Amino acid sequence: MNFQYPSFLFAFFSIAIPILIHFFNFRRYKTVYFSNVDFLKNIKKQTKRKNELKQLLILLARILTIVFLVFAFARPYISTDADVADHQEETVALYIDNSFSMNARSEKGRLLDEAVELAIEIAGSYHPGTNFKLYTNDLHPRHQLPLHRSQLIKELLTIKISSSTVPLSSINNRFNSESKMAGSDNAGTLFYISDFQKNITDIHNFTNDKRVSYFIPLSPAGVKNLYIDTCWMEVPAHGLNQQENIFVRIKNISEENYSNLPIRLFLNDSLKSITNFSINANGEVITNLKYTNITGGIQLGKIEITDYPFTHDNTWYFSYFVEPKLKTLIIYSDKKYSLEGLNYLRALFEDDEYITFEAMNLQNLQISKLPEYNAIFLTGIDNFSTGLLNELSEAVSNGTSVVFFPNPDNRSGNDQFLSKFGAAGITGIDSVRQAISGIDYEHRFFQNVFQEKKEDPAMPEIDRHYKFESKSLTREQNLLWFQNGDKAMSVSPFDKGKVWIFAFPLTKSNEIFARNIIFVPAIYNIVLNSIPDQKTSFTIGKDITVLLPKSINIDIGTPVEIENKQTGNRFIPGITITNQGNRIEPGNMINEAGHYRVINNEK
């Protein structure tokens, strides 16, 4: 015989209660005096036997009542070997949604607590020999093993709210694969207990199987939530003294309108900007905040709104790096036209405090150091070695900008460079003197350069320029063009970097360009735009991978760690070595929003 609830058998100890009552007579007797007690003695002998029998029967009835009640609650059963085998093969899985939305409250209390109670009730309705599986958004490794009912209940009581979210199809596929690995022929049963938010409810992605699935929805009572949906920067690259403009999308899940609510932006723990916003019921609004980068290095920012009772989505964390100084390299040859271009660029950069420049002759160039520079200028180089082109390509792939001024004499050298970067090739030379007449005012490159957009701006005339083939498949954008429509200056993205191409050499014959008002902002903005675009924030559990470029050296004798700036807690992430550098993979170790830093040898 087995018992479904054997813990109730401890109630047998309550049999001691009627036994104690039987042995201890708590009735108080009153003494009455008689002159003759012979008659009373006869009565006492007769009633004493009857009373003892009565008390024993009452005691027996009480004991049997307790015994039957205990057995009833313990639910005894007799199982055959076949029954035991069937129940051991049966697997019941329960998915408990423990995302932030389960913090909402219903009439019965918090949704997560209600889900746990339902799961315990479901487990109690199955045979004691049933194998259970538990899934949450955390996907703990310990949940991969089957659990007995008592183990399941213990795990259910430890579930806490998590920042992770998992599509329901992932839970379905996970249970499928684990069942196949276990060699189980039983399809099993899977219970989904959740509020079924749209971002996880992808039932259309479920695979066809024989499993019975139950979806148990939980609904909060009168949800009201105001939250930050996303943030993005107007310019993905960040320089010193650059004005930043960050956009914030806020959503309102309620039937109420809100007016003049504050939104604050903090940078490095200092309040940098504050503004107000208004939002309609069940609507959304985009607002923006502006500030200036006054220091270099890592910038830690956060944007905050105030809303109750949901507070987990009131703060958006972001971070980025501001280069304290930009490094520029000018590569030149001994040719006269190359030296002329060097002089114009040197005059622009030599007194600049933010941009430091170096000039290297092609014969003395250390090509292995090219990735260390933000921008590299090529002034009339007539011959490119394979090694130089490969190093330039790798540098641009890692975020460096290369600026190409063609040489006026050797077309083959120009074609070598253009072919390496997939740019449009040269088709000929236009020797007619032409004025630059077109400017792409809408491109961010010329942002804040011109106060007004003129249809016929006063631009320089170029002595002669190269003509390029038309390649519709390239991502090249013309920024300046001549009167006849030929390009004068263009930019092409190349992996993480950019290639800037001028259609004319920077020589004495084109000195008018170097002295025109367009020269300084064009060249200077190329360097400022050489800062690689940065990802300012990550979504927990989705896309957290950080690529450390080769320029960042890691001490292999010391483990790489990730530290939570708020709590100081650290953990060791996974590391994958790639051609671009070391890829840091935290996995599911980050489950709390905030700022994190990568540490190696305490740096």
pLDDT digits (tens, 9 = 90+) for 475-489: 888 999 998 889 999
Q: Mean pLDDT across the stretch 346-364?
A: 90
Q: How far apart are CA 82 and CA 118, in angstroms?
A: 29
Sheet with 574-577, strands from edge to edge, namely 546-549, 581-585, 574-577
pLDDT for res 600: 84
Is 384:417 a contact under the CB 8 Å cutoff? Answer: yes
Mean pLDDT of the chain: 84
Task: Count Cβ atoms below 10 Å from residue 301 Cβ, excluding itself.
Answer: 23
**Residue 569: which residues within 8 A CB-CB, separation 6 or more?**
563
d(Cα 228, Cα 230) in Å, to the nearest integer?
6
Q: How far apart are CA 408 and CA 424, in angstroms?
A: 17
Distances (CA, A) of 112 to 121, 151, 154, 190, 192: 14, 19, 15, 18, 13
76-77 vs 2-3, strand pairing mode: antiparallel
In the predicted structure, residue 507 carries a pLDDT above the cut 90: yes
Q: What is the pLDDT of residues 164-185, one digit of tens each?
A: 888 898 888 888 888 777 666 5
In angstroms, the CA 344 to CA 114 distance is 73
- CA angle, corner 316, sides to 602 and 167, nearest 5? 95
pLDDT at 105: 79
Report the pLDDT value the prediction gives residue 119, as an integer from 0 to 100.
93
Other C-beta atoms lying within 10 Å of the C-beta of residue 174: 18
Tell me the CA distances in angstroms from 492 to 24, 109, 402, 423, one per residue in order.
101, 57, 10, 8
pLDDT of 311 over the 80 cut: no
**Mean pLDDT lowest for which of 239-243, 363-367, 592-596?**
239-243
Model confidence over 263-273: pLDDT tens digits?
Answer: 999 999 999 99
How does pLDDT run across 106-155, given as a tens digit for each residue? 888 889 999 999 999 999 888 877 889 999 988 887 777 888 888 999 99
* CATH 3.40.50.10680 is held by the domain 225-322: no
* Sign of the Cα pseudo-torsion (464, 465, 466, 467, in order): negative
- Sign (positive/negative) of CA torsion 590, 595, 597, 603? negative
Q: Which of 220-234, 269-283, 451-465 has the highest mean pLDDT?
A: 269-283
Distances (CA, A) of 309 to 178, 255, 313, 490: 38, 16, 11, 52
pLDDT cut 70: percent of the chain above it:
86
State both tokens at 355.
Answer: 């941009």
> Closest Cα to residue 338, out of 414, 284, 280, 431?
414
Nearest to residue 114, comparing CAs of 218, 268, 263? Answer: 218
User: Per residue in 538-578, pLDDT tens?
Assistant: 887 666 788 776 667 777 778 888 899 888 888 888 888 77
Residue 448: pLDDT band with limits 50, 70, 90: low
Query: Is residue 601 very low, low, confident or very high in pLDDT (cuts 50, 70, 90)?
Result: confident
Residue 304, pLDDT > 60, answer yes
What pLDDT is attached to residue 588?
73
Q: Which amino acid is at 417?
A: F
Domain ranges of the chain: 2-78, 82-217, 225-322, 326-528, 546-600
> What's the topology of domain 326-528?
Rossmann fold (3.40.50)
Whole-model pTM?
Answer: 0.63
Predicted confidence band of residue 84 (pLDDT cuts 50, 70, 90): very low
Q: What is the pLDDT of residues 192-241, one digit of tens each?
A: 999 898 888 888 888 766 678 899 999 887 677 888 999 998 877 788 88
pLDDT the model gives residue 489? 94
What is the rounded distance in angstroms from the CA atom of residue 585 to the CA atom of residue 4? 46
For residue 29, the model assigns a pLDDT of 56
Q: 48: burial class by Cβ within 10 Å (0-12, 13-18, 19+)?
A: exposed
List the single range of 10-19, 85-94, 186-195, 561-570 with lowest mean pLDDT: 85-94
